C-alpha cells in the first residue's frame, strides 16, 4: 500500500497499519475536491502529480471543510467553511505577466491563495447556544491533520496509468463520487487551476493514425497511371482536394471561433450564477426574502361590538378565565362566560342581565378580599372630623378626594348599619353599591393597616386605588350612576368600570400571591430547560472524551472497540430521549399560559386566548413602518429546498441565452480519438477520403 522498500516484516506490517489508519481518518470533505483536481493534471510521474495537487490545496480551503480559525489571543477554534470568496478581477490581473507567470515557478497558481477570503461558521463560540458566522482571510485558517504524505497515500490508492502513461483517476472512483458532474463552483470559487502538463505520445496510436503520402494513397486506390487522360484526372482531383482543404480550414476556423465564444459565454454565465448565489445567500431584511412560507388567510371576527372594544372584551374574558378560583364565575354564569354573553352585557339594557351578574361577580370578589383584610390585619377606615359631605363626585385635589372617599366609606355604616362589603347585592342594588364602592375607593385607613398594605401589596397607598383614579379622571361616570342604572351607560363607560374593578382586584395580596406563584413556576421551568441544555452539552463533551479514550485503550482490539462505542452511543441516545421528553413537557407547561405568541414580518401580533378558542391576529397600522418601493416576489416552493433546486431557480430567474454547441446544425460522425491533443489532421484525412472516393466512383 505504501510502496516503501527496505523494511523488515514487522516494520512493513506497522507501516501498513499506519497507512490504513491514515486513510480511514482522511477528511471526507477533501476527497471529492482532490479527485476533481486529479482529473485536471497531466503527469506521467506520480510524485509530480501529488506535488501539484498538494501545492494547490495547501493554503486553499474548500466549502464544507472542517478547519481551525484564529481570532484573538492566538487561540484556535473549530469552524467549517460555508463559502469561498474569490478576489476581484483587478487583483487577479495584477498577478499575470504577459510573457509568463508572476514568479516563474512551475506550481504558482493565479490568483494566489492569500487573496481568497472565506465565510466560516464558528462552532466553538463563547455562548454555546449561538454559532458565529464571519468572513476571514486565509492567513487566519489552518488544517490540523493533513500533510503531503497523507495526500500522496490517498492519491496512490485512487489513481492509475492510462494507455499514454499519464496518471488518471480510476474509473470506478469517477463513477462512485460522480466526479464528471461535480461543479467547481460548489467546492471553491474563482478560476480552475492550470497544472503543468507533460504529454506522452502513444506510439501505436501515432503510427496507426499517421497520414499516408499522397502517392501511396493514389496508388492504393488505382488513381495513378500514364497518359494525358490520367494526368488530367489527377490535376482535377488535386484541384478538388485543394478547394475542399480551403473550405475545411474556413469551417474549422469558424468552429474554433464559435467554440471560444461559447466557452467565454459559459464562463461568464457561471460567474454570474456564482455571484447571484452569493447574493442570494447574504443576510437580508425579512421583508426582502423570497422564500417565505405563505401566510394563512385569517378569518375576520364578526361581532356586534365595535372593533375598538374587542381587545378590551378579550382581556376581560381572559382575566375571568385565569382568576376563576377568586371570581368563581360558575356561581354567576353556570354555562360559562363567553363572547356572546359579553356582547349581550355591553349592548343590551337588562336590569337582571349579564352585565349586572358580571359587576356583581367582581364586587363580590373585591368585598371578600376587603373583609378578609379587615378581619385579619385591622385595615379599618381612619376616623375624620370636620369633613362636610357636600360633593363626593368631584374633588379639587388628591387630598380633598382622599378625605371625601374616607367620609363616603363610613356612609354605609352610618345609614345602613353595615360596612359597604356587607351590603346586600342583587340586580336592583348592584348599581348603587357600585357607586358607593367607587366613591369610597382610596379611603384612608389606620396606621397599622396602612403599613401592612404598603409591605404586602407592593408599596400600595390609598391614592393608588384604581377606583380613586377613575373618580378623578372619569367623574361623569359617578354622576351618571347617581341618576341611571349601570346598564344604561355607554359601552365605553361599562368597559371602563369593569376594567377598574379588574385592576382593583389585582392590588389585593391574595391575587398577587396567585400571580407570584405562577411566575415562580415559570422561573423554575426556565431553569429546568436551561439545565437540560447544559446537561446535553456536557454529555456530548463527555461522550467525545470517552470515545477518544476507548479508541486509545482498545486500539489492538477492533471488535471490542466497536462494541464499546455502540454501547456508549446507545447510552447517550437513551439519555437524550429522556431529556427530550422532559424538555417537551416543560416547554408545554411554559407556553400553556402564554397569550402573546409573537409577531410576523408584517408586525402583526398573534394572540392565543384560552377563554375564546382560536388564534387571533391583531394588526395595528401605526406599528407597521414604511412600505417598500416595490413588493418582493414570493416563491413558497423554495422553503427548505435542496441546493440543486435553488440553483435551478436562480438560473431560471437570471438565465441568459447560451450559444449552442453546433449552431450550423452540421451532422458529423463521431470524432476519432485525439492523437497528442491534435485532431485537425484526422478531420482532414476523413474529408480527403470522402472526397476522393466520390471522385473515383464518378470517374
Distance in Å from the first CA to the final CA of the chain: 65
> With 50 as the cut, is the pLDDT of residue 30 above it?
yes
CATH classification code of 9-95+107-186: 2.30.30.140
Q: Rounded distance, CA 11 to CA 16, Å?
A: 9
Give one DSSP letter per residue of 257-311, joined into a string: HHHHHHHHHHHHHHHHHHHHHHHHHS---GGG-S-PPPPP-PPPPP-SS-HHHHH
Domain ranges of the chain: 9-95+107-186, 348-382+397-507, 522-592
Q: What is the pLDDT of residues 172-194, one digit of tens each?
A: 999 999 998 889 989 998 888 98
Q: What are 441's three cell numbers? A: 375607593
Q: What is the pLDDT of residues 296-306, one digit of tens each?
A: 787 888 888 89
Cβ atoms within 10 Å, residue 5: 6
pLDDT at position 569 is 87
> With 60 as the cut, is the pLDDT of residue 417 above it?
yes
Phi first, then psi, for residue 137 (nearest 5°) are -85, 165
pLDDT at position 247 is 86
> With 60 as the cut, is the pLDDT of residue 202 above it?
no
Mean pLDDT across the stretch 491-496? 94
> With 70 as the cut, is the pLDDT of residue 627 above it?
yes
Q: Rounded distance, CA 434 to CA 420, Å?
A: 10
The secondary element (H helix, E strand) that includes residue 82 is strand 76-85
CB 626 within 8 A of CB 285: no
Give one DSSP letter per residue of 472-484, joined into a string: HH-HHHHHHHTTS
Q: Rounded distance, CA 548 to CA 537, Å?
A: 17
Which has more pLDDT, 414 or 128?
414
> With 70 as the cut, is the pLDDT of residue 219 above it?
no
Residue written as cell 405568541? Answer: 597
Residue written as cell 400571591? Answer: 513
Least trusted range by pLDDT, from 313-322, 362-371, 527-536, 672-681: 672-681
CB 179 within 8 A of CB 36: yes
Q: Rounded distance, CA 102 to CA 104, Å?
A: 6
pLDDT at position 481 is 92
What percent of the chain has pLDDT above 90?
20
Q: Rounded distance, CA 206 to CA 209, Å?
A: 5
What percent of the chain has pLDDT above 70?
81
CB 387 within 8 A of CB 403: yes
pLDDT at position 392 is 43
Q: Rounded distance, CA 189 to CA 273, Å?
A: 11
Q: What radius of gyration, in Å, describes the C-alpha atoms of the chain? A: 44
CB 242 within 8 A of CB 234: no
3-class secondary-structure state, position 239? helix
pLDDT at position 277 is 79
pLDDT at position 626 is 73
Give one DSSP letter per residue of 353-386, joined into a string: SHHHHHHHHHHHHHHHHHHHHHHHH--PBPP--S
Q: Rounded distance, CA 169 to CA 34, Å?
A: 10
Give one DSSP letter per residue of 94-132, joined into a string: HT-BTTB-SS--TT--SS-GGG-EEEEEESS-SSTT--E
Burial class (CB in 10 A: 0-12, 13-18, 19+), 345: buried
The secondary element (H helix, E strand) that includes residue 617 is strand 615-618
pLDDT at position 658 is 40
Q: What is the pLDDT of residues 279-295, one digit of tens each?
A: 878 888 877 888 888 77
Beta strands across the sheet bearing 596-599 = 596-599, 605-608, 615-618
pLDDT at position 550 is 86
Q: Rounded distance, CA 261 to CA 259, Å?
A: 5
Q: What value does the mean pLDDT of the chain take?
A: 79
Which has more pLDDT, 509 or 295?
509
Which has more pLDDT, 641 or 483?
483
pLDDT at position 487 is 93
> With 80 as the cut, is the pLDDT of residue 447 above it?
no
pLDDT at position 3 is 66
pLDDT tier for residue 563 given thresholds of 50, 70 and 90: confident
Q: Rounded distance, CA 121 to CA 82, Å?
A: 7
DSSP character at residue 288: G
- Give strand pairing partners of 122: 79, 132
Which has more pLDDT, 33 or 698?
33
Q: Rounded distance, CA 338 to CA 350, Å?
A: 17
pLDDT at position 616 is 85
Give pTM, 2 decimals: 0.50
Mean pLDDT across the stretch 363-374? 88
> With 70 as the cut, is the pLDDT of residue 509 above it?
yes
Q: Rounded distance, CA 337 to CA 354, Å?
A: 9
> With 50 as the cut, is the pLDDT of residue 667 above it?
no
Cβ atoms within 10 Å, residue 3: 10
Amino acid at each position: 500500500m505504501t510502496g516503501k522498500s527496505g523494511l523488515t516484516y514487522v516494520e512493513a506490517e506497522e507501516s501498513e497499519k499506519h497507512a490504513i489508519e491514515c486513510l480511514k481518518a482522511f477528511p471526507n470533505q477533501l476527497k471529492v475536491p482532490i479527485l476533481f483536481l486529479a482529473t485536471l493534471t497531466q503527469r506521467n510521474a506520480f510524485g509530480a502529480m501529488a506535488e501539484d495537487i498538494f501545492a494547490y490545496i495547501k493554503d486553499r480551503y474548500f466549502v464544507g471543510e472542517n478547519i481551525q480559525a484564529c481570532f484573538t489571543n492566538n487561540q484556535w477554534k473549530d469552524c467549517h467553511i460555508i463559502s469561498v470568496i474569490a478576489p476581484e478581477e483587478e487583483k487577479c490581473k495584477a498577478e499575470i505577466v504577459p510573457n509568463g507567470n508572476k514568479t516563474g515557478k512551475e506550481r504558482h497558481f493565479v490568483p494566489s491563495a492569500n487573496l481568497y477570503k472565506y465565510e466560516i461558521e464558528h462552532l466553538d463560540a463563547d455562548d454555546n447556544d449561538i454559532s458565529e458566522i464571519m468572513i476571514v482571510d486565509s492567513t487566519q485558517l489552518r488544517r490540523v491533520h493533513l500533510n503531503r504524505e497523507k495526500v500522496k497515500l490517498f492519491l496512490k490508492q485512487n489513481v492509475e496509468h492510462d494507455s499514454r502513461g499519464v496518471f488518471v483517476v480510476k474509473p470506478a472512483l469517477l463513477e462512485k463520487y460522480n466526479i464528471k458532474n461535480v461543479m467547481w463552483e460548489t467546492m471553491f470559487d474563482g478560476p480552475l487551476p492550470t497544472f503543468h502538463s507533460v504529454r506522452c505520445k502513444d506510439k501505436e496510436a501515432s503510427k496507426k493514425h499517421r497520414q499516408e503520402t499522397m502517392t501511396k494513397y493514389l496508388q492504393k486506390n488505382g488513381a495513378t497511371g500514364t497518359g494525358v487522360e490520367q494526368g488530367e484526372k489527377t490535376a482535377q482531383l488535386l484541384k478538388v482536394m485543394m478547394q475542399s482543404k480551403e473550405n475545411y480550414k474556413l469551417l474549422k476556423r469558424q468552429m474554433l471561433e464559435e467554440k471560444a465564444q461559447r466557452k467565454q459565454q459559459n464562463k461568464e454565465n457561471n460567474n454570474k450564477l456564482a455571484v447571484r448565489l452569493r447574493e442570494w445567500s447574504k443576510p437580508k431584511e425579512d421583508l426582502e426574502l423570497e422564500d417565505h412560507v405563505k401566510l394563512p388567510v385569517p378569518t375576520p371576527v364578526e361581532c356586534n361590538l365595535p372593533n375598538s372594544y374587542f381587545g378590551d372584551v378579550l382581556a376581560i374574558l381572559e382575566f375571568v378565565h385565569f382568576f376563576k378560583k377568586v371570581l368563581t364565575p360558575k356561581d354567576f354564569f353556570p354555562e360559562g362566560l363567553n363572547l356572546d354573553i359579553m356582547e349581550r352585557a355591553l349592548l343590551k339594557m337588562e336590569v337582571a342581565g349579564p352585565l349586572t351578574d358580571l359587576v356583581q361577580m367582581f364586587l363580590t370578589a373585591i368585598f371578600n378580599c376587603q373583609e378578609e383584610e379587615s378581619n385579619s390585619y385591622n385595615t379599618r377606615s381612619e376616623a375624620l372630623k370636620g369633613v362636610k359631605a357636600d360633593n363626593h363626585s368631584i374633588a379639587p385635589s388628591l387630598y380633598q378626594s382622599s378625605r371625601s372617599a374616607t367620609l363616603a366609606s363610613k356612609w354605609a355604616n352610618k345609614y345602613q348599619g353595615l360596612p359597604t362589603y356587607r351590603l346586600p347585592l342583587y340586580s336592583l342594588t348592584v348599581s348603587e353599591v357600585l357607586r358607593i364602592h367607587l366613591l369610597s375607593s382610596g379611603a384612608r385607613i389606620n396606621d397599622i393597616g396602612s403599613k401592612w398594605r404598603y409591605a404586602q401589596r407592593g408599596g400600595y397607598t390609598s391614592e393608588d386605588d384604581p377606583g380613586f383614579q377613575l373618580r378623578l379622571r372619569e367623574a361623569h361616570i359617578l354622576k351618571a350612576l347617581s341618576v341611571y342604572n349601570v346598564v344604561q351607560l355607554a359601552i365605553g363607560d361599562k368597559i371602563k368600570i369593569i376594567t377598574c374593578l379588574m385592576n382593583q382586584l389585582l392590588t389585593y395580596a391574595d391575587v398577587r400571591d396567585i400571580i407570584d406563584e405562577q411566575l415562580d413556576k415559570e422561573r423554575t421551568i426556565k431553569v429546568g430547560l436551561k439545565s437540560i441544555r447544559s446537561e446535553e452539552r456536557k454529555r456530548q463533551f463527555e461522550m467525545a472524551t470517552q470515545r477518544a479514550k476507548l479508541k486509545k485503550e482498545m486500539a489492538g482490539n477492533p471488535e471490542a472497540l466497536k462494541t464499546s462505542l455502540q454501547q456508549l452511543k446507545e447510552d447517550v441516545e437513551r439519555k437524550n430521549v429522556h431529556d427530550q421528553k422532559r424538555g417537551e413537557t416543560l416547554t408545554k407547561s411554559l407556553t400553556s399560559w402564554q397569550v402573546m405568541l409573537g409577531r410576523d414580518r408584517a408586525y402583526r401580533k398573534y394572540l392565543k386566548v384560552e377563554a375564546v378558542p382560536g388564534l387571533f391576529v391583531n394588526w395595528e397600522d401605526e406599528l407597521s413602518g414604511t412600505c417598500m418601493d416595490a413588493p418582493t416576489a414570493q416563491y413558497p416552493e423554495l422553503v427548505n429546498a435542496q441546493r440543486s433546486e435553488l440553483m435551478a431557480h436562480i438560473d431560471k430567474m437570471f438565465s441568459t441565452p447560451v450559444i449552442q454547441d453546433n449552431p450550423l446544425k452540421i451532422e458529423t460522425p463521431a470524432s476519432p480519438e485525439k492523437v497528442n491533443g491534435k485532431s485537425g489532421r484526422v478531420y482532414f484525412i476523413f474529408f480527403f477520403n470522402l472526397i476522393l472516393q466520390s471522385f473515383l466512383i464518378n470517374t
